[in-house]
């Protein structure tokens, strides 16, 4: 199962807006995508569960995907996180 290690640079971390964008992007793929923060994880398509992971600025997350389009999904999510969810740094 491929995975990515990403640092969330957004000033307020993975908050409602950025979590919604993350989930919206994840829903575009058939693969099962999970986000890990330390020993807790959440389905990447569930906004509420993503927010409950308490991902703040500077937090390293692990994103894992399993399925036929896993690499494409991870690439899209990496681009989203690295672009700071479309917000200025």
User: By residue range, what is the domain housing residue 47?
Assistant: 3-86
Residue 39 sits in a domain of what CATH number? 3.30.1340.10
Q: What's the total number of domains in the chain?
A: 1
What does each C-alpha distance from 57 to 15, 32, 68 come to in angstroms?
10, 25, 31
Reply yes or no on whether the pLDDT at 82 is more than 90: yes
- Exposed, middle or buried by CB within 10 Å (0-12, 13-18, 19+), for 3? middle
For residue 37, give the DSSP letter. Answer: E
15-70 pLDDT tens trace:
999 999 999 999 999 999 999 999 999 999 999 999 999 999 999 999 999 999 99
Catalytic residue set? 15
Q: What is the pLDDT of residue 1?
A: 86
Q: What is the pLDDT of residue 81?
A: 97
Reply yes or no on whether the pLDDT at 74 is more than 80: yes
In the block, residue with structure tokens 């399925």 = 67
């Amino acid at each position: 199962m491929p995975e990515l290690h990403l640092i969330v640079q957004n000033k307020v971390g993975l908050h409602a807006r950025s979590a919604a964008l993350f989930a919206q992007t994840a829903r575009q793929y058939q693969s099962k995508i999970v986000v890990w923060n330390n020993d807790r994880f959440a389905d990447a398509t569930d906004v509420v569960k993503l927010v409950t992971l308490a991902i703040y600025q500077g937090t390293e997350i692990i994103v894992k995907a399993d399925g036929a389009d896993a690499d494409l999904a991870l690439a899209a999510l990496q681009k989203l996180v690295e672009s700071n969810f479309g917000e200025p740094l």
